[in-house]
Structure 1
Amino acid sequence: MEAFSDGVLAIIITIMVLELRTPEGHEWRELARIWPVLLSYVISFLYVGIYWNNHHHLMLTVHRVSGGILWANLHLLFWLSLFPFVTGWAGESHFAAVPMTCYGFVALMCAVAYTILVRTIIRAAVSNHLLADATGRDLKGNVSIVGYLVAIVAPFFGHTGVIVSGLLLTAVALMWLIPDRRIERVLAQEGGVSAEQ
């Protein structure tokens, strides 16, 4: 499951970079004209990279995989696969309200799908208890979902709302930039699997 997920995430990143178009001219000002496209790519690359990194840490806690886990994982991959679409749309529109709302919606659905995957893993077997021990009430996940909800609505309040949406999306990404230390702590306490693997 992890190898398949890694492959899909690698393809998503590849599609995003292939969507980047070179500037028409050869001057710095030509590059400056496409800054929204470049910025949306960087943020989306971070998002996909963060999901890949945290997914890897998540899998370190899994001792038994069920059919439900496989479907929950596919659900997550479906929403992640929409990042190239919303990335291109947000960048090419220079972060217009509707594309930004759609970007926020895809980010929200990725977070919801990740939460579903976590809960499905915990319910699948008692041997997956490490994940339950690590996540607890999942304050970080809940704060992320609230941030995404505000990022979805904010663009409808004008240019300032678009900026707020972009800042929230970036803030949530930065919050998850470092892999989930809660999982590393539980693994270290368990003494079985090294958190460096």
Structure 2
Amino acid sequence: MDKGRLEAFSDGVLAIIITIMVLELKVPHGDSWDVLLPQWPVFLSYVMSFIYVGIYWNNHHHLLHASERVSGGVLWANLHLLFWLSLMPVATGWIGENHFAQLPVALYGVVLLMCALAWQPLQHSLISANGGKSSLLAQAIGSDWKGKVAATMYLVGILLAFVAPWVSCLLYATVAAIWFIPDRRIESRIKQ
């Protein structure tokens, strides 16, 4: 099965997710800096989510670049990931509108955690479709320590959101920093 349709569909969905998120930013009424101040939580939540969607798009590209073919299982695993990513605009809007309050921060973490967990079946189904454990992709991914660290940090962030929501946001930002640069293991394996 050709991977081109999967890439095009995923790119389209991610572009729509970003478009929906930016629509949450409202034009301030007035022409002074004072009218921008109440918008900072919405803008900050948008920036954080934009970066996250960008990270998924970038790593998705690298993952598929290292794959030669896809299967029906890959298509369903990809849809599973896109489902959770499609909830980003709602979580982003809620966290921004409520100034990073406890429950919205926890829900944002749940969406991030579910995206991270949905990434795993996509990786595994792509590995299976491309030759199993001896495939280039399997060798490049290895033990996937970044995925395990991310899921753990999201879980801790969700729990801390009810006590210290800003600490949770710092954990979420730390995970984004870890994943900001695409997985170099995949790039290095492709070059070999």
- TM category (shorter chain) comes to over 0.9
User: Over aligned residue pairs, what C-alpha RMSD do you find?
Assistant: 1.1
Q: Could you tell me how far 1:156 is from its partner in structure 2?
A: 1.1
Deviations 1:20-71 (A, max 9, x none): 1112332101101111000000000000000000000000111121000000
Please give the alpha-carbon distance, in whole angstroms, between the structure 1 residues aligned to 2:80 and 2:70.
15
Please give the alpha-carbon distance, in whole angstroms, between the structure 2 residues aligned to 1:169 and 1:69.
27
Alpha-carbon contact 2:17-2:86 (below 8 Å) kept: yes
Aligned residue among 154, 159, 179 for 1:153? 159
In the alignment of these two chains, the number of paired residues is 186
1:81 and 2:79 matched = no
- Gaps (5+ residues) in structure 1? 190-197
Aligned residue among 90, 100, 103 for 1:98? 103
Please give the alpha-carbon distance, in whole angstroms, between the structure 2 residues aligned to 1:179 and 1:106.
21
Aligned residue in 2 for 1:37: 42
Q: Could you tell me how far 1:179 is from its partner in structure 2?
A: 0.9
Please give the alpha-carbon distance, in whole angstroms, between the structure 2 residues aligned to 1:31 and 1:186.
47
**Paired amino acid for 2:34:** R
Please give the alpha-carbon distance, in whole angstroms, between the structure 2 residues aligned to 1:88 and 1:140.
27
Q: Could you tell me how far 1:174 is from its partner in structure 2?
A: 1.0
Structure 1 stretch 120-129 or stretch 138-147: which is displaced more? 120-129
1:56 and 2:61 matched = yes
Please give the alpha-carbon distance, in whole angstroms, between the structure 2 residues aligned to 1:69 and 1:21.
38
Alignment of 1:1-197 (within 5 A): 1-126=6-131, 129-157=135-163, 161-189=164-192
- Gaps (5+ residues) in structure 2? 1-5
TM-score (norm 2): 0.94
TM-score (norm 1): 0.92
Query: Among the aligned pairs, what percent are the same residue?
Result: 60
Please give the alpha-carbon distance, in whole angstroms, between the structure 1 residues aligned to 2:99 and 2:28.
15
Aligned residue in 2 for 1:194: none
Moved over 6 A (4+): none
Deviations 1:90-136 (A, max 9, x none): 00000010000000000000001111100111122417811100111
Aligned residue in 2 for 1:192: none
Alpha-carbon contact 2:160-2:168 (below 8 Å) kept: yes
